[in-house]
């Protein structure tokens, strides 16, 4: 291409590459950590009962109805809740609002691959801390001066979680920075630190409707924090896009929250399938990490991850393979329905023979 002068003004970035999204409906899709079950039937009722005339108006700029419902559920106030267009939007907003130090922010080396992407985009200095050979995060690594801390709990793609003791120790040792705990998968885990928002005014906890509530298609994420920190997130949002959540996203999310029984039942089903699948994979010679999420992170004692990935793919089963240092012999397998997992296990047993 000719060197037109305007090209000098184009941004210089490396975009994040999302997981493959096969379009064939026959494929068993275990590569995006989506929930195998539909959202609550109350979501259907919302769509069917919707008066579309209302859609001509702008939605609530701060999703006030949803914030109130979330606040009530976790025992906080609306002023402690921020909602955004998926937890990616929420996390990116938090990075921009809170990570403005010359010191690097800290997060684990094996973690959600969007963190370095936001740091590049927003010009935030960062330093990664190596998890150990069993992918465990070492609390000692997060006791040095920093410009902020991000810990996903449970972590992805490792599937491992930490408990209250770890989080408290982290907070006690980071009183001069803002600490983000990314709880995208927490409903499948053992411990959410949302309660600690009442004790620590520098803690931000992010969650999502995409996994445990089967609403990835609606893009709703949230953060819980002190009123002061939430006001900064609102200010950043209002400087970028005042209405990130559309009216129907707000209403379907509220409907989902109103159906706690269905939510709990779905989460329990996924966890039961997960634990059964892990057990059977271990019998086939897999090292399967103790998952607190809706996916398994596993490597085989003899076969390479790439080999298994390719075999599954040829058989119409998509899982996630990361061609990255330290984890290039692992597979990340989303928990599907029992039926889907049986088919997957069958294919694994064929290749493991």
Rounded distance, CA 56 to CA 326, Å?
Answer: 50
Instruction: Please give the torsion angle defined by the CA atoms of residues 66, 93, 39 and 297, in that order, rounded to the nearest 10 degrees.
Output: -140
Q: Rank residues 36 and 152 by Cβ distance to its own copies and give the closer one.
A: 36
Smallest distance from its own copies to CB 229, Å: 8
Smallest distance from its own copies to CB 132, Å: 28
Report whether 344 contacts 312 (CB < 8 A).
yes
Q: Rank residues 130 and 241 by Cβ distance to its own copies and give the closer one.
A: 241
Report whether 316 contacts 27 (CB < 8 A).
yes
Tokens of 241: 């896009």
The phi, psi pair for 240, rounded to 5°, reads -125, -55
Smallest distance from its own copies to CB 287, Å: 29
Rounded distance, CA 305 to CA 351, Å?
Answer: 11
Q: Rank residues 81 and 105 by Cβ distance to its own copies and give the closer one.
A: 105
Instruction: Classify burial at 184, counting beta carbons within 10 Å of its beta carbon; exposed 0-12, middle 13-18, buried 19 or more.
Output: buried
Closest CA to 249 of 223, 222, 217, 224: 217
Q: Rank residues 83 and 245 by Cβ distance to its own copies and give the closer one.
A: 245
- Number of Cβ within a 10 Å radius of residue 191: 18
Smallest distance from its own copies to CB 32, Å: 6
Smallest distance from its own copies to CB 111, Å: 17
List % helix, strand, coil for the chain (3-state, nearest 5): 45, 15, 45
Smallest distance from its own copies to CB 17, Å: 8
Q: Rank residues 13 and 302 by Cβ distance to its own copies and give the closer one.
A: 13
């Amino acid at each position: 291409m000719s060197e037109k002068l305007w090209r000098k003004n184009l941004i210089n970035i490396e975009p994040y590459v999302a997981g493959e999204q096969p379009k064939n409906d026959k494929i068993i899709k275990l590569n995006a950590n989506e929930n195998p079950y539909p959202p609550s039937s109350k979501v259907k009722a919302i769509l069917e009962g919707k008066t579309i005339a209302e859609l001509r108006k702008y939605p609530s700029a701060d999703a006030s109805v949803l914030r109130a419902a979330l606040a009530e559920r976790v025992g906080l106030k609306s002023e402690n809740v921020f909602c955004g267009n998926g937890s990616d939007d929420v996390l990116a907003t938090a990075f921009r609002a809170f990570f403005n130090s010359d010191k690097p922010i800290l997060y684990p080396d094996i973690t959600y691959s969007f963190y370095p992407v936001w740091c590049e985009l927003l010009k935030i200095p960062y330093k990664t801390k190596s998890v150990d050979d069993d992918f465990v995060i070492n609390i000692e690594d997060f006791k040095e001066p920093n410009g902020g801390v991000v810990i996903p709990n449970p972590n992805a793609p490792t599937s491992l979680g930490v408990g209250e003791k770890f989080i408290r120790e982290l907070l006690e040792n980071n009183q001069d920075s803002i600490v983000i705990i990314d709880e995208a998968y927490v409903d499948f885990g053992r411990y959410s630190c949302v309660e600690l928002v009442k004790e620590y005014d520098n803690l931000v906890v992010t969650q999502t409707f995409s996994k445990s509530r089967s609403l990835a298609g609606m893009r709703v994420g949230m953060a819980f924090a002190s009123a002061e920190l939430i006001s900064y997130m609102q200010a950043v949002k209002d400087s970028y896009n005042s209405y990130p959540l559309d009216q129907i996203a707000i209403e379907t999310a509220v409907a989902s929250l109103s159906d706690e029984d269905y939510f709990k039942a779905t989460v329990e089903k996924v966890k039961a399938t997960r634990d059964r699948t892990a057990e059977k994979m271990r019998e086939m010679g897999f090292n399967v990490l103790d998952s607190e999420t809706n996916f398994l992170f596993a490597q085989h004692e003899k076969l390479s991850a790439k080999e298994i990935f390719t075999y599954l793919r040829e058989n119409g089963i998509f899982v996630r393979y990361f061609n990255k240092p330290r984890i290039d012999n692992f597979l990340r397998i989303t928990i599907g329905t029992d039926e889907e997992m049986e088919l997957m296990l069958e294919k694994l047993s064929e290749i493991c023979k």
